[in-house]
Amino acid sequence: MNKQKSTEETKKQQKTWIKIIKIVGIVLICLILFALIAFGVLRALGKSGIRKTTVGEAPILESTESTEEGWQDGWIRYNGQIYAYNEDIMTFLVMGIDNDDVVKKAKDGLSGGQADAMFLAVMNPHDKSVSIIAVNRNAMALVDVYDEDGVYMGQYTKQITLQHGYGDGMELSCERSVAAVSRLFYNLPISGYAAINMGAIPALNDAVGGVQVTVLDDVIYPEYDMDLHQGDEVTLTGHQAYWYVRGRNENVFNSSSLRLERQKQFLTTFIVQAKNKAVTNPSIAVDLYNTISKYMVTDIDITKFTYLASEALGYNFDINHLYTMQGETLMGDKYEEFYVDDDALYQLIIDVFYEPVESEDIK
């Protein structure tokens, strides 16, 4: 009798556990479905938002007047070839600001912080490619200058890194930087911006398991426990990553160009590692966004970011899509000045933002 009772109790317990397991399974499935639906909603909203912000005029390159039948406004002729601006392209200005703290409004109109790193990230849906253009921080460009009270003083030729400083360190500084970079690139339409304080670098680095690099030049700062030598193959810790992309010897001429090469290397490797992680963890993009949000000023909200990150998984990115502005660095009265090679910049804009017009399209 006791044996029969024990057997019945065991069966009841088994049924109870089976019910619990089923309930847990259903809950897990619901959570997964909810996550997928949420991701899909974020992506859809982001796609709609991005498309609204990409509407803009083409860069103002020297247009060619033509009486050819079928000629369209905005077409240009360059080296015998006709080109049209790719209106579907999406371009974003990404800046690294020389500030280690979380973002906050500057105390006056001159304390917005300099943009130590400036990159244009370009997504081309036609050939599914991502291009990165490194903008030299010392590029001499037209900069809108303000006094500490925010009163406009005029437009002067200065290092483009300074433009972010003439503002509030928040949206105003970013918008002025976007305008300055757009001017430099012949009024190139820019879809959005992200200004990230350098204090976010350790967290970004660690989020992808540490960026792996072959050290490009000696980065030695005993006072900061930094001792990396050219040729070393290392997986950077957060602390090392910070100094690798920010440190430079100001006593060495053109040291900012050496640092720019390290920044390019770090960024490209980071993108590859983040993309690889996203294959097994689709939410990594949202995680990264949330990780650095307190260090970042951007007009790319979480919905747009989710869309862009998911799109980027299907895009190709390699060293052939990494561009550096050509020009010459000279010593000014106090600081280095980089003078852009206008012909090379013109060619770069055509290579990245324009497409050849085939003869059959001229009707």
37-49: pLDDT as tens digits: 434 444 444 454 5
Q: Is residue 34 part of a domain?
A: no
Q: Is the pLDDT of residue 220 over 60?
A: yes
Q: Is residue 25 part of a domain?
A: no
Q: Which two tokens stand for residue 356?
A: 């050849």
pLDDT at 204: 94
End-to-end CA distance of the chain: 96
Residue range 340-345: mean pLDDT, rounded: 97
Task: Report the SS3 class of residue 124.
Answer: strand
pLDDT tens readout for residues 307-335: 888 888 889 888 889 999 999 999 999 99
pTM above 0.85, yes or no: no
Q: Is residue 270 part of a domain?
A: yes
Q: Is residue 39 part of a domain?
A: no
Measured distance CA(249)–CA(251) in Å, rounded: 5
pLDDT tens readout for residues 59-113: 877 655 555 666 787 789 999 899 999 999 999 999 999 999 999 999 999 999 9
CATH number at residue 131: 3.40.630.190
User: In which domain, by residue range, is 274 found?
Assistant: 54-361
Q: Is residue 233 part of a domain?
A: yes
Domain count, the chain: 1
Q: Is residue 288 part of a domain?
A: yes
Measured distance CA(230)–CA(215) in Å, rounded: 5
Q: Is residue 8 part of a domain?
A: no
- Counting DSSP H helices and E strands in the chain, the numbers are 8, 17
Residue range 233-241: mean pLDDT, rounded: 96
Q: Is residue 293 part of a domain?
A: yes
